Amino acid sequence: MAPSRPARRSPGSWSGHDRDRSSSGQPRPKKSLGQNFCVDPRLGSEVVARLAPTTGDEIWELGPGPGALTRLLVETGATVRAFEIDERWRPELETRFAGRATFHWGDFLELDPTPFVPASGGFLACGNLPYYCATPMIRRLLALPRRPDRLVFVIQEEVARKAIAQPGTSAYGFLSAQLQLAAEVKMGSVFPPSSFRPVPKVSSAILELRPLALPANEIARRQRALWLLSVMLRQRRKMAVNLLRRALPQVEWQSLFEQVALPAGCRGEAIPFATLLRLVDAVPADAWPPAYQAAEPDGSF
């Protein structure tokens, strides 16, 4: 006699036959949401040590998932606010951390977190970020009206290396400049793929950011530097002076390059930050595109 088929279950079933959950009832990791959960306790310890929270601080965690890092964060005594897109974790997280952490459900890149920014006290942010949207998440945090005092993330090692890369190196690019002009940037330990489940294809690393306290006119200056860099990195192999000439033809770029001691044939990716900022200062104020003419920008980085 042929074995009978198991009865069909409803889509929301918690049984072992639910494709969305494992036999233990845990949500199955979703690749589309970058769910590679941390199984190495050293990782959470390093995140917390670098955040160095104290009781009065508020910590934001992006992507708590099953809550391994969340547990360490609430144990510090700080106020914890976490943002998670995957509502399958809702019953577990809201029960386990009831009264100890606040959860916001939805896409962190879509919701407006501004109303939750603490007005006073220490403000920290962290997360083992999903690979597919780690950079936009970091940018979003750095664009808040009040930026966190310290941010510590677990991200793809390659992206962490780009974040700390210096001009003139192969890893250097717009992200390196954007982060380093806005913050002190450090890379921490590297964690192999075996530190996560399911095991990803690449290694991860800790990235720590300490946003710089900059006056508004300095933020405006650095935003102009980033704009110049975006023009110069559009075609990395081309001479910077030619790309800039095309973007702002009314500026005498050749003579400005001489003024800041840059070789005429140099490429944008090789220009050190200090020289880039000197170049910004040499451009006449009315030559900038309208969005970059204000002495004080309306937003931060």
Interaction between residue 72 and ligand SAM (CB under 6 A): no
Interaction between residue 38 and ligand SAM (CB under 6 A): yes
Token pair 């020289």 is found at 275
Interaction between residue 105 and ligand SAM (CB under 6 A): no
Q: Which helix (H) or strand (E) holds 5?
A: none
Interaction between residue 180 and ligand SAM (CB under 6 A): no
Structure token digits, residue 211: 């946003």
Interaction between residue 228 and ligand SAM (CB under 6 A): no
The CA-based angle 209-73-145, given to 5 degrees, is 45
187 residue type, one letter: M
Using CA atoms, how far apart are residues 101 and 93, in angstroms rounded to an integer? 9
Looking at residue 297, what DSSP letter applies?
-
Q: Contacts with ligand SAM in 81-100 (CB under 6 A)? A: 83-86
Q: Contacts with ligand SAM in 136-155 (CB under 6 A)? A: none
The CA-based angle 245-249-252, given to 5 degrees, is 75
Contact segment (CB under 6 A) with ligand SAM among 2-10, 27-35, 155-163, 229-237 equals 27-35
Q: How far is the CB of 28 from ligand SAM (least distance, A)?
A: 12
Q: Are 86 and 106 in contact (CB under 8 A)?
A: no
Contact segment (CB under 6 A) with ligand SAM among 35-43, 169-177, 183-191, 252-260 equals 35-43
Q: Which helix (H) or strand (E) holds 155?
A: strand 150-156
Q: How far is the CB of 83 from ligand SAM (least distance, A)?
A: 5
Interaction between residue 128 and ligand SAM (CB under 6 A): yes
The residue within the footprint of ligand SAM, chosen from 75, 107, 184, 218 (CB under 6 A), is 107
Phi first, then psi: give them for residue 21, nearest 5 degrees. Answer: -130, 150
Looking at residue 143, what DSSP letter applies?
T
Q: How far is the CB of 132 from ligand SAM (least distance, A)?
A: 7
- Give contact residues for ligand SAM (rule: CB under 6 A): 33-38, 62-66, 68-69, 83-86, 107-109, 128, 130, 133
